[in-house]
Each structure stands twice: as C-alpha cells, then as structure tokens.
Amino acid sequence: MNRPIAILVGVRVPDRDPADLEASLDELGRLVDTLGMDVVGRLVQGRPSTRDAHVLGEGKLRDLAEQVEGSADQPPIDVVIVDHSLSPSQLRNLKNHVGTEVMDRNGVIIEIFSGRAQTREARLQVELARLAYLAPRLRELGGPSERQRGGIGGKGAGESSLELDRRRIRDRMAELRRELASIEEGRGGVRGRRHGVRQVALVGYTNAGKSSLMRALTGAEPYVADQLFATLDTTVRRLHPEVQPSILITDTVGFIKDLPHSLVASFRSTLDAANDAGLLLHIVDASDPSWPEQEAVTATVLGEIGADELPRVLVFNKCDQLSPQQEAALRESRPDAWFTSAHTPQRVAELHAHIVQHFVSADPEHEVFVPWSRAAATGIIHAEAHVISEAYSDEGVTVRLRASPSVFDRIQAATED
C-alpha cells in the first residue's frame, strides 16, 4: 500500500535562527515518517510573523499550489504539513488555497499518539487531547456542514449539525475526564503500596533511548524502535540484577519541542510517575547535536508537571556513537553527568552501580540491635534497608544499615520487645 505524500512548510521569522528552523523541519520530517507518510520536499519562506491569514505570501502560495498538483517529476501532494501551530482560520484558508489536506505540527503529534497508545489509560488520555484539538477546528477539518437540525436530543429546532457535534465532543470530554479520574483513584492504591520503595523515573526527549535503557537495566522487553514516540505507556520494572531493597525503574512518555498543551495536560497523570520517584534520570541522546535544546525542553516540561524539584541526574546515552575525543569534551563540559550506552554491557553495569549508590548514600546510617526473640525483624532489614555490617552475640545481632527515616521507624518497631 502506497504511503501518502507530504510536503513540509516552514516559516522563518526574524528572530529565529535559520539552523534552528532546519533542525525543526528535520524533526518534523521524522514525525511525518513515524505517522506513515513520505516527505518529498520542503518549502520555507521568511515572514514577519506566523500569524498571516494564509501562512505564506502570495508567491509562495502559488508555488505550493503547483507542487500540490504534481508534475512529471513529482507525484501530487496528499498532505501539506506546517511546522507550527495553525489557528482554525489559517487551517481553512491554506486548505482552500492549495486544495488538499493541511495539518500542523500539533495535529501530527496528536495523530501519532492516537496510533501508539496501548493501555486503556493512554488511549483515554490521547482521545481527550485529540478532542480538545478537534473541537475548535471541526468546520476547517471537514466536519459536517451547517445543516439545520432539530429533533430529540438537540437544543431545539434550529440547532446546527456543527453545534451538535461540538456538544457531543464536550460531553465525551467530560466522560473521559471522569473515567481518567477513576483510573487515577485506583492507581493511588498502587502508589500507596509502593510508598517507601525506591523508584527511578527515566525522563527525556523522545527517541533519546529511554526504552532501550529500560530494557538493559531491568531485563524487561519494552517496545523499542528508532522512531519518535515509540513508547507512550508508563512501564515499571525492578532493577536487574536485583538489589536489596529493590529499586523500581519507570519508563515514561518522551517529550518534544512544542508538545501540544492538551497532551501535556492529558498525560500529566502518566508523567506523575516522575513525581513518585526518588531519582529522575534525565536521558539525553549524546549523539544528537541538538541535545542542549532537547535537554531544555525536557526541563521545561518537568517544571510544568511539578517535577523540577526532585533529585535529577543528566545521563548521556548512546555514547557508543561518540568518538573518544567527543566524549572527553562532553565529560569536561558536564562533569556531574553520567555517561552510558544501552548497547554496551559494561556501561550499563556502571549505570546500575550509580543508581544503587545514589540511594545508598542518600539514606542516613543507623545501628540497631535485634534480639533473638525478634529475629524476624532481620527479614525486614534485609528487604527494606541496605546492610553495612552485622555483629552476632549470644543475645542477638547488631546491624549497621542505611535506611530512610520511615523504614528505620518500622525496623525499630519490629525489634522492640
């Protein structure tokens, strides 16, 4: 089956670096490929702003319309994709002028999310975001005509088809929010059972290699692909080889520049896994020249979901794709970062050790005496604390350990006669 043919459109405003625009169009091209379309070209024009009614000037509009029609050297264009958010009127104007389907960057991302969500929660979240995007664009996206329709269920005679569709969308969005609230309430019980468990959340830009690291660190088999937004659903697995007490690793949905606000809001509950973590590993693709911008995007979104105050370590992934000189320069510029590659076992083992050491060093050191009459308490100690040493006597065992205050309180209660 032939894939739809797309052309990319970029607007270069005065305060935008041309290199940044090219990088953004490159990324948009990857998004479009992920959506299942082939990009045959791009059209870029300098404009005072992105608010023009037709997006482009008259000359470029004519050029675009000609390319859409196709030629002996190029097939007709099925979809025009603009690398910024379009207002409903801009969408309508451009679509009417070029005579084919038009999408903006937000629409592409939402369609990708719609096709990738697997769990019930993720599907509900994406549907909510998709409806929020669709509602103001019903007419422009080819919704029903403004036929007059009355009858049962309407506001009365004279309610238009478009108004009915908008009301149905509002009702469906309210229903989705109720379902998501119910899921969130149920997840609260799971979180309660995990209280006190050491947790790490992998966060970062899409395609930074989070799922590959998840697989390497846990032995699990999350979906891994060299595509943007290969993973949308939160996955939780134990760190492997296992340590005592256990450490849970959580993989989260990737971020991207200009992520639609509706998606940020709808995935807030999924990303709340980051807020439950005792450590955020901010994964960055070291081989991508635009990693500083991607790092900044992730930091911004973490701030939006209230996770920017949690302990966070920058982790450069895909270091196997760097030369020794490039990695040395990166280490010098970011001395506090960790460096790894999901495909290099030795580096994964080093990352594993870093994670364990973070939690060990974060917990205060304690000493507790366990009388033989309370020997069962040693099971709690070994399951929930890091044991430094044990000294045995006729009366019991003295244990030096590291544990969080809440865990140590439980240990003390278990050792009291």
**pLDDT by 10s per residue, the chain, length 417:** 689 999 999 999 998 888 889 989 999 999 999 899 999 999 999 999 999 998 999 999 999 999 999 887 888 999 999 999 999 999 999 999 999 999 999 899 888 888 777 778 878 888 888 898 888 888 766 554 443 443 434 444 445 788 888 889 999 999 999 998 888 777 655 554 545 578 898 989 988 998 889 999 998 765 455 555 655 556 788 999 988 888 999 888 778 887 776 676 655 655 666 667 789 999 999 999 889 999 998 898 888 777 778 889 999 999 999 999 999 999 999 999 999 999 999 999 999 999 999 988 888 999 999 999 999 999 889 888 889 999 999 999 999 998 888 888 889 999 986
pLDDT at 170: 92
Q: Is residue 50 part of a domain?
A: yes
Q: Are residues 335 and 257 part of one domain?
A: yes
Q: Are residues 353 and 225 part of one domain?
A: yes
Q: What are phi and psi of 406, to 5 degrees?
A: -65, -40
CATH code of residue 394: 3.30.70
Please tell me the pTM assigned to this model. 0.77
What distance in Å separates the CA atoms of residue 20 and residue 350, rounded to the nearest whole number? 35
Residue type, 86: L
Q: Which of 247, 224, 223 has its CA nearest to residue 237?
A: 247
Q: Are residues 251 and 103 part of one domain?
A: no
Q: Are residues 403 and 349 part of one domain?
A: no
pLDDT at 228: 56
What distance in Å separates the CA atoms of residue 81 and residue 107, rounded to the nearest whole number? 9
Q: What are phi and psi of 269, to 5 degrees?
A: -70, -35
Q: Are residues 161 and 70 part of one domain?
A: no
| Three-state secondary structure string covering the chain | CCCCEEEEEEEECCCCCHHHHHHHHHHHHHHHHHHCCEEEEEEEEECCCCCCCCCCCHHHHHHHHHHHHCCCCCCCCCEEEECCCCCHHHHHHHHHHHCCEEEEHHHHHHHHHHHHCCCHHHHHHHHHHHHHHHHHHCCCCCCCCCCECCCCCCCCCCCEHHHHHHHHHHHHHHHHHHHHHHHHHHHHHHHHHCCCCEEEEEEEECCCCHHHHHHHHHCCCCCCCCCCCCCCCCEEEECCCCCCCCEEEEECCCECCCCCHHHHHHCHHHHHHHHCCCEEEEEEECCCCCHHHHHHHHHHHHHHCCCCCCCEEEEEECHHHCCHHHHHHHHHHCCCCEECCCCCHHHHHHHHHHHHHHHHHHCCEEEEEEEHHHCCHHHHHHHHCEEEEEEECCCEEEEEEECCHHHHHHHHHHHCC
Q: Are residues 238 and 92 part of one domain?
A: no
pLDDT at 153: 43
User: Which residue carries 């509950």 as its tokens?
Assistant: 269
What distance in Å separates the CA atoms of residue 398 and residue 365, rounded to the nearest whole number? 13
User: Which residue carries 């960057």 as its tokens?
Assistant: 105
Residue type, 39: V
* Number of independent structural domains in the chain: 4
pLDDT at 261: 67
What distance in Å separates the CA atoms of residue 42 and residue 296, rounded to the nearest whole number? 27
Q: Is residue 303 part of a domain?
A: yes
| CB burial of residue 73 (10 Å; 0-12, 13-18, 19+) | exposed
Q: Is residue 227 part of a domain?
A: yes
What distance in Å separates the CA atoms of residue 343 and residue 321, rounded to the nearest whole number? 10
Cα angle, residue 114 at apex, residues 343 and 206 outer, rounded to 5°: 30
Q: Are residues 222 and 156 part of one domain?
A: no
Handedness of CA 115, 33, 85, 264 (dihedral sign): positive
Q: Is residue 204 part of a domain?
A: yes
What distance in Å separates the CA atoms of residue 3 and residue 359, rounded to the nearest whole number? 49
Contact by Cβ (8 Å): 129, 263:
yes
Q: Are residues 227 and 298 part of one domain?
A: yes
Contact by Cβ (8 Å): 54, 91:
no
Give the domain range for residue 162. 121-133+143-190
Q: Are residues 405 and 300 part of one domain?
A: no
Contact by Cβ (8 Å): 203, 282:
yes
Q: Is residue 167 part of a domain?
A: yes
Q: Is residue 138 part of a domain?
A: no
Q: Are residues 314 and 210 part of one domain?
A: yes
- Two tokens, residue 107: 């629409």
Contact by Cβ (8 Å): 408, 387:
no
Residues forming beta bridges with residue 43, ordered by sequence position: 9
Q: Are residues 350 and 274 part of one domain?
A: yes
pLDDT at 1: 64
CATH code of residue 216: 3.40.50.300
Q: Is residue 116 part of a domain?
A: no
The neighbour count for residue 396, using CB atoms within 10 Å, is 19
| Three-state secondary structure string covering 323-340 | CHHHHHHHHHHCCCCEEC
Q: Are residues 353 and 295 part of one domain?
A: yes
| Cα of 238 vs its chain's centroid, Å | 20
